[in-house]
């Protein structure tokens, strides 16, 4: 009988989403059995699958059910079946509505180059080996949501407007989260803005610098976003935590993702306000990749991004850091021992499918130290 029970809301979504979510849950159950907890889970529709079944990408009641859970695990949404740009309901509405409904304002994307995979990056191996940083992107403010937004006029006098706004409170809460994260890592925080041009960036830099006073042990630096884009490719090892606003974060986190090689390796967490227990912050966890319709249903999708998302969930939302570390260790070891899915460069005849890679990781999950002794 497990000591602890964690409640997980599971949203498999579309394409490879259900395949990687199933793999992640298998690993979660196994690690739970070894580390003394169990997962009680309930599944909910989202995205294209939800449109087909309920006529909405985020059916009524799903957000509330997710709020009740300790954490949310999502696969991916979207696919060619729902791609008609004229459609009134689109799968992405499910994801945006969920993020908004959960109030998650910080998106974390860890980028870690695993030695055994360094050769798959488009950057030279000696530049990236040892890279290990997290991008913290503000998720609910900035130019994506500011008003007015829209277009007017007819040719040849068409014009369009977007507005970027940030309040002090929005900057402060995400900065605090990033400093807390940096405090538990290498204690280096690089804040990225465009303060030489943008008023929102000047406020951003001011507020981040003020928050820094509460974290004297963390070394704060600032970079303009254009320099940051260059530095990420020149010397990615210099970074520990990168904090930036919504638009810059969107672009830089995809640039950063390519340093690690395959999309199939990258987890993410989206976090909101901490609850009463600082060790169990509610969050939404999902692989960075999309629904990969080109390989859906063929059993070859790499499940590691989803499995590492579950590790993040264990550490940040479920208060199970040892189990999180066990999953990460199993992933490292499997790759070091040569386990490869097709996206990691394995020939077709040597590549592990989704199920075989998941089994391999389960076999390699370390037991807790007290059991091993």
Ligand X SMILES: NC(=O)c1ccc[n+]([C@@H]2O[C@H](COP(=O)([O-])OP(=O)(O)OC[C@H]3O[C@@H](n4cnc5c(N)ncnc54)[C@H](O)[C@@H]3O)[C@@H](O)[C@H]2O)c1
Catalytic residues: 144, 194, 226, 250, 254
β-pair type (219-224, 241-244): unpaired
Q: Which of 57, 72, 77, 339 binds ligand X (CB under 6 A)?
A: 77
Q: Does 290 bind ligand X (CB under 6 A)?
A: yes
Pick between residue 140 and residue 291 the one whose CB is nearest to ligand X.
Answer: 291
- Window contacting ligand X (CB under 6 A); options: 180-188, 198-206, 301-309, 331-339: 301-309
Pick between residue 21 and residue 77 the one whose CB is nearest to ligand X.
Answer: 77
Binding to ligand X, residues 302-341 (CB under 6 A): 302, 305
Residue with tokens 């538990």: 184
Report in angstroms how near the CB of residue 184 gets to ligand X at its nearest.
26
- Per-residue binding string, ligand X, 209-248, x by CB under 6 A, is ----------------------------------------
- Per-residue binding string, ligand X, 126-155, x by CB under 6 A, is ------------------------------
- Window contacting ligand X (CB under 6 A); options: 71-79, 121-129, 140-148, 165-173: 71-79
Cα–Cα distances in angstroms (integers) from residue 245 to residues 108, 147, 166, 175, in the given order = 12, 17, 9, 10
- Nearest CA-CA partner of 50 in 23, 78, 70, 22: 78
Q: Which helix (DSSP H) or strand (DSSP E) does residue 28 occupy? A: helix 17-35
Report in angstroms how near the CB of residue 293 gets to ligand X at its nearest.
6
Binding to ligand X, residues 246-275 (CB under 6 A): 263-264
- Torsion angle, alpha carbons of 272, 276, 278, 279, to 10: -100
- Window contacting ligand X (CB under 6 A); options: 74-82, 156-164, 277-285, 315-323: 74-82
Contact 245, 166 (CB under 8 A): yes
Maximum distance among all alpha carbons in the chain? 77
Q: Does 295 bind ligand X (CB under 6 A)?
A: yes
Q: Which helix (DSSP H) or strand (DSSP E) does residue 40 occupy? A: strand 37-43
Residue 55 burial by Cβ neighbours in a 10 Å radius (0-12, 13-18, 19+): exposed
Q: Give the span between the Cα atoms of 124 and 227, in whole angstroms.
A: 20
Cis geometry, peptide bond prior to residue 148 (ω within 30 degrees of 0):
yes
Pick between residue 182 and residue 295 the one whose CB is nearest to ligand X.
Answer: 295
* DSSP string over 244-263: E-HHHHHHHHHHHHHHTS-G
Report in angstroms how near the CB of residue 75 gets to ligand X at its nearest.
7
Q: Does 289 bind ligand X (CB under 6 A)?
A: yes
Q: Give the span between the Cα atoms of 307 and 298, in whole angstroms.
A: 19
Q: Which of 178, 292, 331, 351 binds ligand X (CB under 6 A)?
A: 292
Q: Does 89 bind ligand X (CB under 6 A)?
A: no
What is the contact surface with ligand X in residues (CB under 6 A)? 76-79, 95, 263-264, 286, 289-295, 301-302, 305, 343
């Amino acid at each position: 009988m497990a000591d602890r029970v964690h409640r997980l809301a599971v949203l498999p979504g579309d394409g490879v989403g259900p395949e990687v979510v199933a793999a992640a849950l298998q690993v979660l159950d196994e690690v739970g059995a070894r580390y003394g907890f169990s997962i009680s889970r309930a599944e909910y529709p989202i995205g294209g699958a939800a449109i087909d079944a309920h006529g909405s990408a985020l059916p009524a009641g799903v957000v509330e059910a997710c709020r009740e859970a300790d954490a949310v695990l999502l696969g991916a949404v979207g696919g060619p079946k729902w791609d008609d740009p004229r459609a009134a309901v689109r799968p992405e509405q499910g994801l945006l509505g969920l993020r908004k409904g959960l109030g998650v304002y910080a998106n974390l994307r860890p980028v870690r180059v695993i030695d055994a995979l360094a050769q798959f990056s488009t950057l030279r191996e000696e530049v990236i080996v040892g890279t290990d940083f997290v991008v913290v992107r503000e998720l609910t403010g900035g130019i994506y949501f500011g008003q007015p937004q829209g277009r007017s006029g007819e040719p040849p006098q068409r014009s369009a407007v977007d507005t970027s706004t940030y309040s002090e409170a929005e900057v402060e809460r995400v900065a605090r989260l990033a400093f807390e994260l940096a405090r538990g890592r290498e204690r280096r925080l690089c804040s990225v803005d465009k303060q030489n041009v943008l008023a929102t960036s000047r406020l951003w830099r001011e507020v981040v610098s003020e928050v820094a006073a509460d974290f004297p042990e963390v070394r704060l630096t600032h970079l303009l976003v254009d320099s940051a884009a260059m530095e990420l490719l020149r010397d990615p090892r210099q970074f520990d935590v990168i904090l930036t606003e919504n638009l810059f974060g969107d672009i830089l986190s995809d640039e950063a993702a390519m340093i690690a090689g395959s999309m199939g390796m990258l987890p993410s967490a989206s976090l909101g306000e901490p609850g009463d227990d600082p060790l169990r912050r509610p969050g939404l966890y999902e692989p960075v990749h999309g629904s990969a319709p080109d390989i859906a249903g063929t059993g070859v999708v790499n499940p590691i991004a989803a499995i590492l998302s579950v590790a993040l969930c264990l550490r940040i939302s479920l208060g199970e850091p040892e189990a999180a570390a066990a999953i990460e260790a199993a992933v490292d070891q499997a790759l070091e021992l040569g386990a490869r899915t097709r996206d990691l460069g394995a020939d077709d005849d040597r590549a592990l499918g989704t199920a075989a890679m998941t089994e391999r990781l389960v076999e390699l999950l370390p037991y807790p130290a007290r059991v091993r002794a």
